[in-house]
Copies of this chain bind each other. A is one copy, B any other.
Amino acid sequence: MRHLISIEDLNKDDIIRILNKSEEFEDVALGKRRSRILEGKILANLFFEPSTRTRMSFETAMKKLGGEVINVSAQEASSIAKGETLADTIKVVSNYCDAIVIRHPLEGAARFASEHSRVPVINAGDGAGQHPTQTLLDLYTIKKEIGRIDGLKIALVGDLKYSRTIHSLIKALTLFETKIYLVSPPVLELPKEFLEELGGDIEKAELDQIVGDVDVIYVTRIQKERFLDEEEYRKVTGSYKITLETVKKMKESAIILHPLPRVDEIAVEVDYTKQAKYFKQAFYGVPVRMAILTEVML
């Protein structure tokens, strides 16, 4: 049985296989082709904290492949959690489905769940831990929109300290031949220990220095709660905001990504430029999750 708990469970070949498979499902995601490949299968969405976007994306992927979905809301899940251990919950729930997508506030919860489950478990985010399907859709977006991942220059912008999305993505990018620029306020830098473990071609930079040279700008949300005072927050975030000015300095072929939701990190006017690919990135979650669902269930 195959689980998908961490992006580190996959090697470069696994990732490439999943990205290729995703491409095959894109027509189905777009409604141009029908598939009933998961007919008779049931996916349980077990969300111990809300993440409506991720849940919807898995749900539409499953349903467009002819499968069925049972949702357990954050509210229901928290009421279950009060009454029994996670191990017991997983043992019971895995009787009622063919795979479990789990979202949990605690790091390690998805791995633990997989050890007690009769069916494959997919991690949809566990605390500060992993969110491997987000990473796969990020990679897929880059590959689809630029044509390759190897050889690209990629700027990671914003909160590099706390963002689970960034941590998973950077690990995956180091499997490819990429040049990575880290662009963040000093208080939100990638943790030193994390950086030391990584191989790959990685360096710190200012956005202004590299904006005209990079192929991908990956922006993340900077949360107000990370700052001691609101003025500091406003000052800091201002200088990492992507505006029309930023876009003008970018290469024609470069793209801007964001895991969404965004607050102020990207000006709304940017949405209408051809570099803006973050809504398309949200769409790509569907074919990528189709590929993942078929990987674990078939």
Q: Which residues of A contact B (CB under 8 A)?
A: 31, 34, 39-42, 44, 50, 52-53, 56-57, 59-60, 63-64, 68, 70-73, 75-77, 79-80, 83-84, 87-88, 91-93, 95-98, 260-263, 268, 279, 282-283, 285-286
Contact = CB atoms under 8 A, between A and B. Distances in A.
A92 B283 CA distance: 7
B75 A75 contact: yes
A92 B53 contact: yes
Contacts of A93: 56
A73 B73 contact: yes
A84 B52 contact: no
A84 B260 CA distance: 9
Contact of A262 (B31, B34, B63, B84): B84
Total copies of the chain:
3
Contacts of A98: 31
A97 B97 CA distance: 23
B70 A59 contact: yes
5 contacts: A40-B64, A56-B93, A71-B71, A88-B260, A95-B283
A42 B70 contact: no
Contacts of A268: 87
A63 B42 CA distance: 8
Contacts of A75: 73, 75
B260 A95 contact: no
The listed residue with most B CB atoms (<10 A of its CB), out of A64, A95, A263, is A95
A279 B90 CA distance: 10
A268 B85 CA distance: 10
Contacts of A44: 56
A39 B40 CA distance: 12
